[in-house]
């Protein structure tokens, strides 16, 4: 009995020695006792923290669904980090092996589903719907698809618990939505929401200068009905492919009444009419000093307003990231043409026709277009008069000398006014200015436009 017992002890000691040798020389203590993760979200680079008693030994880390595993440098005998890209939702396995391929630790971490539900607001044929994605969608590398909702725009990542998207509905009945990987190869979530067809004429998006969508029921009379628009140009009808609904788009071109008549071509009768009111366009500017709102006057200055809105409504807006590059206390604040470092942003190659004789004056709060103007002592020419492109200025005081007085002194075209946030413009005038890259009156600290959005 004593010989057998002695042999068992010897074999046990030999086994421990072999394991220790194969594992890189660690002691009998567990080399790994836990793995935790941060930023463990689908499509993201996760950071893993390995804890244990002998992490200064040679180990290998692998995973079934976390790709590109990279084990970091040895930090200590008890802590070591690693990274990997989360390639799935749900349980993800991690395995730690010794250099001799002995499995020394196994664990499973759970990657949350990036989307657990989708709800919709204004899901109507022809309308722009707003979708709300719930779950953990913020940092996950996902895309949204649909069979009947087009022009999908998923909003930027934020810190909120939900994420929103917008799309335009081009069908009725069950509308399918799915969340997939960016490649589209992996389906992560799918749902269906029912949309109904309109029973009367509907108008979507009635902002001046923008494209509006009109939807009207045809009740099987597609060929007999036409659409007549007032206050909207460039009317384009769909191909008539929907059995009981027709859609059209046009550009809102005037202030006041916007109306659409559904006309029966057989009887020449107006079967349905819808009318709405279009107000002066407004643009909200968010800046590093605060927000302000301009109201534009397309009745007095149509060319100037249309040009300005074309810059605003680029995607992203032309003005995003530009600075107020010339600010003079007691005079005006000018922006819309330069970025940080006084780098001029590419603009239209030609300017617009000067509209300075429109009855609008350069008074405090008035917004006007900047233009090149002639050299000192030189006469005005068409090239200098009509040189305004993207740059604008806000009058800090009444500047009567900037108004039209003659052909040789045509002034600067006012096309709107600040209706909210004039205190932000006044604040700009209190900031220190200097010379940068040969330009004077440049704020020492950038006053940056972070976004410009047509909000009316």
Stretches where the chain sits below pLDDT 70 are 1-29, 138-139, 158-160, 220
CB 91 within 8 A of CB 63: no
Q: One fold for both 2-110 and 204-278?
A: yes
15: enclosing H helix or E strand:
helix 2-22
348 contact partners, CB below 8 Å, separation of at least 6: 389, 390
Residue with tokens 């052909």: 407
Pull the structure tokens for residue 349: 């190659």
Question: Widest CA span of the chain, in angstroms?
Answer: 123
Q: What's the pLDDT at 166?
A: 92
Q: What is the structure's pLDDT at 170?
A: 77
Can you name the CATH fold of 282-454? Cyclophilin (2.40.100)
Provide the CATH number for the domain formed by 115-195 in this structure: 2.60.40
- At 139 the pLDDT is 66
Q: Beta strand pairing status for 245-252 and 256-264?
A: unpaired
How many Cβ atoms are within 10 Å of 198's Cβ, its own excluded?
Answer: 16
Which pairs from 218-226 meet CB under 8 Å and 24+ separation?
Answer: 218/244, 218/245, 218/246, 219/244, 220/244, 221/264, 222/246, 224/264, 224/265, 224/266, 225/262, 225/263, 225/264, 225/265, 225/271, 226/262, 226/263, 226/265
What confidence score (pLDDT) does residue 100 get?
Answer: 87
Report domain extents, the chain: 2-110, 115-195, 204-278, 282-454
The CATH number, out of the four listed (3.40.50, 3.30.60, 3.90.550, 2.60.40), of the domain defined by the range 204-278? 2.60.40
Which of 1.10.600, 2.60.40, 1.10.287, 1.20.1070 would CATH assign to domain 2-110?
Answer: 2.60.40
User: Among candidates 263, 281, 446, which has minimal Cα distance to 367?
Assistant: 281
* Terminal Cα-to-Cα distance of the chain (whole angstroms): 96
């Amino acid at each position: 009995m004593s010989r057998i017992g002695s042999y068992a002890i010897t074999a046990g000691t030999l086994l421990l020695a072999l394991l220790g040798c194969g594992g890189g020389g660690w002691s009998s203590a567990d080399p790994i006792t836990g793995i935790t993760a941060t930023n463990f979200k689908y499509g993201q680079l996760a950071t893993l923290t390995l804890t244990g008693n002998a992490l200064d030994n040679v180990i290998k880390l692998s995973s079934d669904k976390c790709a590109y595993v990279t084990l970091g440098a040895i930090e200590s005998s008890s802590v070591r980090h690693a990274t990997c890209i989360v390639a799935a939702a749900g349980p993800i396995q991690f395995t730690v092996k010794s250099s001799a391929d002995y499995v020394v630790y196994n664990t499973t971490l759970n990657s949350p589903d990036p989307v657990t539900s989708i709800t919709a607001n204004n899901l109507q044929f022809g309308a722009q719907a707003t979708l709300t994605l719930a779950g953990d969608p913020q940092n996950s590398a996902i895309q949204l698809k649909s069979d009947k909702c087009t022009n999908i725009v998923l909003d930027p990542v934020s810190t909120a618990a939900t994420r929103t998207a917008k799309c335009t509905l081009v069908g009725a009945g069950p509308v399918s939505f799915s969340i997939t990987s960016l490649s589209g190869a992996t389906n992560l979530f799918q749902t269906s929401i029912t949309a109904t067809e309109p029973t009367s004429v509907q108008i979507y998006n009635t902002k001046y200068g923008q494209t509006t969508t009109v939807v009207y029921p045809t009740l099987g009379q597609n060929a007999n009905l036409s659409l007549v628009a007032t206050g909207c140009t460039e009317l384009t009808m769909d191909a008539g492919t929907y059995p009981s609904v027709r859609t059209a788009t046009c550009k809102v071109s005037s202030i006041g009444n916007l109306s659409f008549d559904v006309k029966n071509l057989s009887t020449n009768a107006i079967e349905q009419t819808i009318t709405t009111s279009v107000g002066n366009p407004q643009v909200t500017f968010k800046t590093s000093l605060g927000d302000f709102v301009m109201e534009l006057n397309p009745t007095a200055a149509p060319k100037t307003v249309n040009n300005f809105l074309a810059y605003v409504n680029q995607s992203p807006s032309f003005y995003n990231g530009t600075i107020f590059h010339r600010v003079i206390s007691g005079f005006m604040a000018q922006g819309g043409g330069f970025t940080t470092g006084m780098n001029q942003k590419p603009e239209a190659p030609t300017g617009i026709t000067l509209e300075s004789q429109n009855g609008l004056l350069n008074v405090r709060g008035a917004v006007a277009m900047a233009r090149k103007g002639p050299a000192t002592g030189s006469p005005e020419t068409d090239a200098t008069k009509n040189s305004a492109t993207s740059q604008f200025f806000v009058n800090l005081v009444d500047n009567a000398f900037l108004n039209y007085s003659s052909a040789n002194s045509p002034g600067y075209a006012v096309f709107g006014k600040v209706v909210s946030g004039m205190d932000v413009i006044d604040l700009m005038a209190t900031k220190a200015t200097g010379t940068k890259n040969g330009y004077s009156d440049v704020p020492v600290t950038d006053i940056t436009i972070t976004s410009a959005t047509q909000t009316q």
